[in-house]
């Protein structure tokens, strides 16, 4: 079945009244971004729906990408036909034959905006229904909760037929929720938190700390590749790599072991906040989950959060690990997240970190360090990379080499 | 030149050799090294294993790389015997196995294991009932080849698998060195098979590399201890160029497998049709679904196998007295002896073994040459009189 266009129904943004125009504009921009590999596709955002005219582009590939655009509630692949009864019948039958499975129920649902068309909605429902019954067996009609709804829309220019209602990602178009930094480690939780931030329309930039030679380039590339997976939901995400080794070495040298972790985290949050301020962003997101590890007890959060008044949003704060893992599997980050490369959270991890650090102590130990100088040098070393959907950073040679096999 | 000795070894495929060459020159890091050279080698090792697993229909963690068929057989057999010695010391094989299986059993027998060697019928095939009768509570291992290397009999691996389904603790090893790429794989590699051996140089890849399939969860005592490569089962730095080359060779081998096997069968059929009913000729590899299409063993009464091999060689045709591994010894073919073939006939046997590079024209040429030789020897030996 070659679909000619996709009809997209908006999600929550329909309810947002006067901001509607902005929302639709952002969504159209995001759809354009994810479909940029198909230049023939036309995107027509309208106030009630968006029409994506395929012009021969393959629906299955577009479908894969569209599924991941936030702000879409449902969408239907549609076929445009000329305004004759024969065309309607022929296409309806072909569509039904492709999607109908024995035991399903269906109904025909016609809408007509061209009131000059030869048949009205009731007539069309009956005619098409009869035609299908004549040409297919095992059909069963059900008005209230049918498995399939064959939608026929009679418009001025043509007639549009569809019978599938596919679920979009829901949520809000990325960008409508403002911009923020996301602290991305490379573990399981922070990619899930990133996904949830994007889902609420927040346009994020990744901040990732790396500590060569303590951490390998692979750990850095892993975080970048995770960003590539998440970029499917955003179109593009900036990845900001912050060198962290000097800070860690200095802390290790001068801070008592029990507070190594707390002080390190305070530095990370400070750096994230500095980057946020410089880039005119409104919040810091991270993947902390209450009580999961020593740095994520409420006492630790208190002692760490002490360095800023910027909102720190923790999307997975109250989720169980199993819930986080399930979501990570759904969004496709899990397998990559569990690859065992040392990251800067695990090196210099004290054997017995304080689970109930005190704010005063943390401040006191930190006073021994040249905080401003350390922060300044780290910021001077940041590298920003723009990452697009499914960009690969780990398997650079592997794919090429596999061609030898 | 006509090369009809593909069960002894095959000519390396230039495309496979090119992979070997490129890996040897460019991806020579040790897969265990931490740096990126090591990582690149490790990735290729993983890709190779993945490709082979997918082509053979196994899981990736069930494929182990060895130095070849002999090592795979020894590891499977001795590894099982040692691993399971607490549970019993009775091990079973057939009387027509390749030397690397037969002699591994002999070695274990010398160490005090009890060995049952199943007899075969006149087609060289073991009988499932004999196996059923041989099984006892001390049995830990059954090792039966998939395809006989001397005459091409396909052993009843499916029936044996059915029988052994009731004996889940017995490890079932199948030497499949002769069986891959002949369109019979599902018959010799059933889900009940726990261990299976393959050798790369039998399918246009380099020497010195092979595969041991070990089903997930099955235990083997390693024969090579060391750095713990191949999950501790086979230590030693991985032979990556050969492994990559083998992965490619398996892919090429299994492309259009049925067509290739049909071509080999056509060559065998043509020569069998010619040999059939000739006085003094005894065919051990009939055209049948129960024989592999690529092996044809027959004897010309009164002429020693090696005489025939050398006579054909003068015409640039290369064949073997039965197993090439045994052919330098003076003793007769073990499979034929186990089939109770008369000694005089057994010592006269030669083996033709084909592969996809052979053509039907070569079969015609072989027949023309052989016919002259046959007429000559038939006259000397008064055949058909």
Residue range B39-85, pLDDT digits in tens? 899 999 999 999 999 999 999 999 999 999 999 999 999 999 999 99
Most B CBs within 10 Å, among A212, A221, A341, A404, to test the B interface:
A404
pLDDT of residue B344: 85
Is the distance from CB of B309 to CB of B84 less than 8 angstroms?
no
Please tell me the number of Cα atoms within 13 Å of A309 on its side-chain side. 0
State the pLDDT confidence band at B294, using cuts at 50, 70 and 90.
very high
- Chain A residues with CB under 8 Å of B51 CB are 402, 405
Q: Which residue has the tokens 């073990």?
A: B334
State the pLDDT confidence band at A268, using cuts at 50, 70 and 90.
very high
- Chain A residues with CB under 8 Å of B247 CB are 405
Distance from CA of A339 to the nearest CA of B (A): 14
Of the given ranges (A94-98, B101-105, B320-324, B346-350), which has the lowest mean pLDDT? B320-324
Distances (CA, A) of B272 to A97, B313, B353, B367, B376: 53, 20, 13, 10, 20
From CA B138, how far away is CA B68, in angstroms rounded?
30
pLDDT of residue B35: 87
Distance from CA of A395 to the nearest CA of B (A): 8
Would you call A401 and B247 a contact, using CB atoms and an 8 Å cutoff? no
pLDDT of residue A15: 58
Quote the crossing angle between the two packed helices A371-380 and A245-254, to the nearest 10°: 160
Q: Does B48 touch chain A (CB under 8 A)?
A: yes
Q: What percent of chain B has pLDDT over 90?
A: 90
Q: What angle do CA A19, A23, A28 make, to 5 degrees?
A: 150
pLDDT of residue B284: 96
From CA B177, how far away is CA B180, in angstroms rounded?
7
From CA A379, how far away is CA A58, in angstroms rounded?
45
Would you call B43 and A401 a contact, using CB atoms and an 8 Å cutoff? yes
Average pLDDT over residues B183-189: 97
Q: Does B248 touch chain A (CB under 8 A)?
A: yes
- Chain B residues with CB under 8 Å of A394 CB are none
Would you call A401 and B36 a contact, using CB atoms and an 8 Å cutoff? no
Tell me: pLDDT of A48 over 90: no
In total, chain B counts a number of residues equal to 385
Q: Average per-residue pLDDT in chain B? A: 94
Distances (CA, A) of B240 to A405, B19, B200, B348: 12, 10, 13, 42
Q: What percent of chain B has pLDDT over 70?
A: 97
B51 is written with which tokens?
A: 């490709």
State pLDDT tens for residues A328-349.
Answer: 999 999 999 988 777 666 667 7
Q: What is the DSSP letter of A121?
A: H
Tell me: pLDDT of A265 over 60: yes
pLDDT of residue B324: 46
CA nearest neighbour of B317 among B263, B261, B378, B363: B363
Would you call B36 and A217 a contact, using CB atoms and an 8 Å cutoff? yes
A210 is written with which tokens?
A: 């790396």
What b-and-e string marks burial along B123-155, b requiring 16 or more CB atoms within 10 Å of the CB? bbbbebeebeeebeeebbbbbbbbbbbbbbbbb
Average pLDDT over residues A183-210: 96
A379 is written with which tokens?
A: 């910021």
Closest partner CB to A405 (pick from B36, B39, B47): B47
Q: Average per-residue pLDDT in chain A? A: 91
- Chain B residues with CB under 8 Å of A222 CB are none
Check if the interface score ipTM surpasses 0.90: no
- Chain B residues with CB under 8 Å of A405 CB are 19, 47-48, 51, 244, 247-248, 251
pTM flag (> 0.90)? no
Is the distance from CB of B195 to CB of B215 less than 8 angstroms?
yes
Tell me: pLDDT of B333 over 70: no
Provide CB contacts within 8 A for A330, sequence distance 6+.
Answer: none
State pLDDT tens for residues A78-123.
Answer: 999 999 999 999 999 999 988 888 888 989 999 998 888 888 898 9
From CA B246, how far away is CA A144, in angstroms rounded?
60
Q: What is the DSSP letter of A17?
A: G
Tell me: pLDDT of B328 over 50: no
Tell me: pLDDT of A205 over 70: yes
Of the given ranges (A28-37, B136-145, B215-224), which has the lowest mean pLDDT? A28-37
State the pLDDT confidence band at B262, using cuts at 50, 70 and 90.
very high
Would you call A404 and B22 a contact, using CB atoms and an 8 Å cutoff? yes
From CA A200, how far away is CA A13, in angstroms rounded?
11
Q: How many CB pairs under 8 A join A and B?
A: 31
Of the given ranges (A56-65, B57-66, B137-146, B326-335), which has the lowest mean pLDDT? B326-335
Closest partner CB to A397 (pick from B19, B40, B247): B40
Helix, strand or coil for residue A288? coil
Would you call A398 and B48 a contact, using CB atoms and an 8 Å cutoff? no
Binding-site residues on chain A for chain B (CB distance < 8 A):
217-218, 395, 397-398, 401-402, 404-405
Tell me: pLDDT of B353 over 80: yes
Average pLDDT over residues A358-387: 96
Distance from CA of A397 to the nearest CA of B (A): 7
Distance from CA of B154 to the nearest CA of A (A): 30
- Chain B residues with CB under 8 Å of A401 CB are 27, 40, 43-44, 47
Is the distance from CB of B219 to CB of B89 less than 8 angstroms?
no
pLDDT of residue B327: 47
Closest partner CB to B47 (pick from A217, A218, A402): A402
A73 is written with which tokens?
A: 């509630």
Would you call B40 and A398 a contact, using CB atoms and an 8 Å cutoff? yes
Average pLDDT over residues B6-27: 97
Closest partner CB to B244 (pick from A217, A395, A404): A404
Distance from CA of B23 to the nearest CA of A (A): 8
- Chain A residues with CB under 8 Å of B43 CB are 395, 397-398, 401
Among chain B residues, the shortest Cα distance to A404 is held by: B19
Among chain B residues, the shortest Cα distance to A217 is held by: B36
Is B297 in the active site?
no
Q: Which of B82, B325, B367, B369 is catalytic?
A: B325
State pLDDT tens for residues A383-398.
Answer: 999 999 889 898 767 8
Distances (CA, A) of B283 to B124, B136, B271, B274, B348: 13, 37, 11, 11, 11
């Amino acid at each position: 079945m070659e679909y000619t266009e996709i009809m997209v129904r908006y999600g929550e943004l329909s309810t947002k009244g006067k901001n509607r125009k902005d929302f639709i504009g952002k969504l159209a921009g995001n759809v354009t971004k994810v479909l940029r590999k198909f230049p023939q596709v036309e995107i027509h955002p309208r106030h009630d729906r968006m029409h994506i005219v395929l012009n021969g582009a393959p629906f299955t590939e577009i479908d894969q990408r569209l599924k991941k655009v936030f702000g879409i509630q449902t969408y239907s692949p549609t076929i445009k036909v000329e305004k004759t009864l024969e065309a309607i019948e022929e296409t309806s039958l072909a569509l039904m034959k492709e999607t109908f499975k024995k035991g399903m129920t269906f109904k025909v649902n016609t809408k007509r905006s061209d009131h000059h068309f030869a048949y009205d909605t009731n007539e069309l429902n009956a005619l098409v229904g009869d035609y299908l019954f004549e040409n297919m067996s095992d059909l069963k009609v059900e008005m209230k909760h049918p498995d399939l709804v064959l939608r026929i829309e009679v418009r001025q220019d043509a007639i549009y037929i569809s019978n599938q209602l596919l679920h979009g990602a829901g949520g809000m178009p990325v960008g409508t929720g403002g911009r923020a930094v996301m602290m991305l480690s490379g573990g399981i939780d922070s990619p899930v938190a990133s996904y949830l931030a994007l889902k609420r329309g927040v346009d994020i930039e990744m901040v990732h700390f790396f500590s060569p030679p303590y951490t390998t380039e692979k750990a850095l590339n892993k975080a970048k590749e995770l960003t590539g997976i998440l970029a499917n939901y955003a179109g593009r995400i900036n990845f900001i790599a912050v060198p962290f080794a000097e800070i860690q070495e200095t802390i290790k040298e001068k801070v008592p072991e029990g507070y190594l972790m707390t002080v390190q985290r305070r530095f990370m949050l400070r750096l994230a906040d500095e980057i946020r301020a410089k880039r005119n962003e409104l919040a810091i997101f991270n993947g902390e989950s209450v009580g999961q590890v020593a740095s994520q007890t409420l006492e630790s959060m208190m002692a760490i959060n002490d360095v800023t008044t910027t909102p720190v949003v923790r999307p997975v704060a109250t989720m169980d690990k199993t819930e986080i893992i399930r979501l990570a599997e759904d969004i496709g980050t899990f397998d990559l997240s569990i690859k065992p490369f040392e990251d800067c959270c695990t090196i210099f991890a004290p054997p017995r970190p304080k689970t109930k650090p005190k704010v005063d102590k943390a401040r006191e130990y930190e006073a021994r360090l040249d905080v401003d100088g350390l922060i300044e040098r780290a910021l001077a070393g940041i590298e920003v990379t723009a990452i697009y959907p499914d960009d690969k950073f780990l398997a650079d040679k592997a794919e090429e080499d596999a061609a030898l096999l | 030149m006509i090369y009809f000795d593909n069960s002894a070894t095959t000519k390396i495929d230039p495309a496979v050799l090119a992979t070997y060459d490129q890996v040897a020159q460019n991806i020579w890091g040790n897969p265990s090294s931490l740096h990126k050279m090591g990582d690149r080698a490790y990735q290729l090792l993983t890709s190779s294993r993945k490709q082979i697993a997918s082509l053979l229909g196994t899981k990736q963690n069930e494929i182990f790389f060895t130095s070849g068929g002999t090592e795979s057989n020894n590891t499977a057999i001795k590894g099982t015997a040692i691993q399971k010695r607490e549970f019993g010391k009775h091990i079973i094989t057939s009387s027509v196995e390749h030397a690397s299986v037969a002699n591994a059993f002999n070695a274990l027998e010398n160490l005090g294991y009890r060995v049952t060697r199943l007899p075969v019928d006149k087609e060289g095939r073991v009988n499932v009932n004999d196996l059923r009768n041989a099984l006892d509570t001390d049995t830990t291992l059954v090792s039966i080849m998939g395809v006989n290397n001397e005459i091409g009999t396909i052993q009843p691996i499916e029936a044996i698998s059915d029988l052994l389904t009731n004996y889940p603790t017995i490890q079932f090893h199948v030497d499949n060195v002769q069986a891959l790429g002949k369109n019979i794989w599902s018959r010799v590699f059933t889900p009940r098979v726990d261990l299976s051996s393959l050798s790369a140089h039998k399918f246009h890849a380099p020497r010195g590399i092979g595969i041991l399939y070990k089903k997930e969860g099955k235990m083997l005592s390693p024969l090579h201890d060391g750095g713990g490569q191949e999950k501790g089962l086979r230590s030693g730095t991985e032979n990556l160029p050969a492994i990559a080359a083998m992965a490619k060779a398996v892919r090429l081998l299994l492309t259009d497998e049925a067509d290739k096997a049909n071509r080999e069968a056509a060559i065998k059929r043509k020569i069998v049709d010619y040999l059939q009913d000739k006085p003094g000729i005894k065919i051990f590899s009939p055209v049948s679904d129960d024989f592999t299409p690529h092996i044809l063993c027959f004897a010309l009464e009164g002429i020693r196998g090696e005489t025939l091999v050398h006579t054909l060689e003068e015409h640039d045709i290369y064949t073997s007295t039965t197993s090439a591994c045994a052919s330098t010894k003076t003793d007769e073919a073990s499979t034929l002896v186990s089939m109770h073939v008369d000694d005089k006939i057994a010592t006269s046997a030669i083996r033709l073994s084909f592969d996809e590079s052979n053509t039907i024209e070569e079969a015609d040429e072989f027949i023309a040459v052989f016919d002259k030789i046959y007429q000559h020897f038939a006259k000397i030996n008064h055949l058909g009189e």
